[in-house]
Amino acid sequence: MYTIKDVAWYSVVTLRDTALENHLRGLRKFYPDLDVYTIDNNAGHYDISPIAERYNVKVLVNETTQPLPLTITQDNWSKELFKKHKVLCFSSDDIQIFEGGFIEKSLDLINQGDEIVSFSTNRDAVAYMYTERYFKDVGFEITKPGKEYTGAEFLDAMVMKAYGKFPQVGEYWRWEEDIKCWRSRYVGNPIPGILGKDCVNEKLRNMGIPY
């Protein structure tokens, strides 16, 4: 049986350090002792170490001359993180966390036999927990072009194809006008320009990086 001591959280930050601070602030509010890693995918454009130090987060750096696609960073670092941890939680830097308890509820589903669990709904893959078996048997589509493989494509092509379902704990996914954020019970995804979330693809295009 997995417990929260078996869990590590990692988030990928790509050209939006202010969003990362909002993300880590919410995470640490509810999970102050969780092992947390931030994957620095900024290719030298930002120094995120001051933010990481404030929230007791370990930094893993993609030492490249340009940011890597999200699926490649997940694939690369999952191999490393599974050497020390049994269950991983993934989130991108722009996810906002509104309430605790979702890691524990997701572990309940993992312990009942599921290998991947969404923190939002069974129609969305913005943040999730997965086991080493999921990573080995299904994994991430690293050949997909672009900065990231979208949540819908990931869900349909990977999770639904493998399992026919995407277990979830988030319960709903709706627009919250007061905070300008799409959210489930536990996590949310603000629109660009809100809460430090910039359009990464636009930034990459302006830098001449073909995404």
pLDDT tens for 33-71 read 999 999 999 998 889 999 999 999 999 999 888 888 888
How many domains, the chain? 1
Q: CATH number for the domain including 145?
A: 3.90.550.10
- Judge whether 115 lies within some domain: yes
- Judge whether 104 lies within some domain: yes
Cα-trace Rg, the chain: 16
- Judge whether 153 lies within some domain: yes
Span 96-113, pLDDT tens digits: 999 999 999 999 999 999
Ramachandran angles phi, psi of 76, nearest 5°: -60, -50
- Judge whether 154 lies within some domain: yes
- Judge whether 211 lies within some domain: no
Residue-range definition of the domain harbouring residue 144: 4-206
DSSP 81-150: HTTT-SEEEEEETT-EE--S-HHHHHHHHHHTT-SEEESS-TT--SEEEEEHHHHHHT---TT--SS---
Average pLDDT over residues 158-173: 94
Torsion over CA: 68, 71, 76, 80 (sign): positive
- Judge whether 193 lies within some domain: yes
Q: Which residues pair with 59 in a beta bridge?
A: 38
